[in-house]
Chains A and B, each alone.
Chain A
Amino acid sequence: MTVSIQSPPFDMGAEVRRFAESVSGAGAIVTFSGLVRDDDGKLTAMEIEHYPAMTESAVEAIRMEAMERWSLLGAVIIHRYGRLEPGEQIMMVATAARHRADAFMAAEFLMDYLKSRAPFWKKEIGPGGEKWVSARDEDENALARW
């Protein structure tokens, strides 16, 4: 499994262990996990919508691009959708390479692209109502460095 778009939670430790066992010759594995953040204690939940017919292929295209740009032995991406509570894991990426520079760079590239090019939309739900998270200019600008 290299890309999983799923609703249920995942066990990051188990996923990373399985990934590490699936790549041979790796000298570096970088992992990143994104959590539902509650800045001011007023978030009840986050609802993540996606475009089912497109999500997996868009995420796989981003993964393939990373595989081509860096010397990677593997990369996995898990991204959840649906209703998530503060502190829950939204997503994770893991990259494996012979040396750490490739693994770090590829993980950052994956995160930048997943933010603005994967068809997910986050809505914050609080006691006072609901609000779609707006895309930030710096997220779009972050793509320019690649």
Chain B
Amino acid sequence: MIEVLYFAWLRERVGEHSEMIETGADTVAELVEELRRRSEAHALAFSDMTSVRVAIDQDLADMNASLAGAREVAFFPPMTGG
């Protein structure tokens, strides 16, 4: 089981802050494919991957990153701090 978190407009589009996912995905990209199939809201949230960033267990990662041992995967738009 992986806990998937969403922030900012990804959270609003998906309609959830977090969800527990039973997944066999090896990489973030494979997980995204699975998530897209969950609902139209998910498909919309992940329709433009150029504006989606990811962190695995609170570390920034990329879409090809391995999910081996991952407990928490967070998706969010490019950050706007400062």
Contacts and interface: CB of A to CB of B under 8 A. Distances in A.
Contact of A111 (B55, B72, B82): B82
Contacts of A114: 81-82
B55 A51 contact: yes
Interface in A20-76: 34, 49, 51, 53-54, 57-58
B82 A91 contact: yes
A135 interface: yes
Contacts of B82: 34, 90-91, 111, 114-115, 118, 120
The range of chain A's interface size is: 20 to 34
A134 B52 CA distance: 12
A132 B79 CA distance: 11
Contacts of A51: 5, 7, 55, 58, 74, 76
Given A121-B76, A123-B8, A132-B9, A115 B81 contact: yes
Contact of B72 (A53, A90, A117): A53
Interface of B: 5, 7-9, 55, 58-60, 72, 74, 76-82
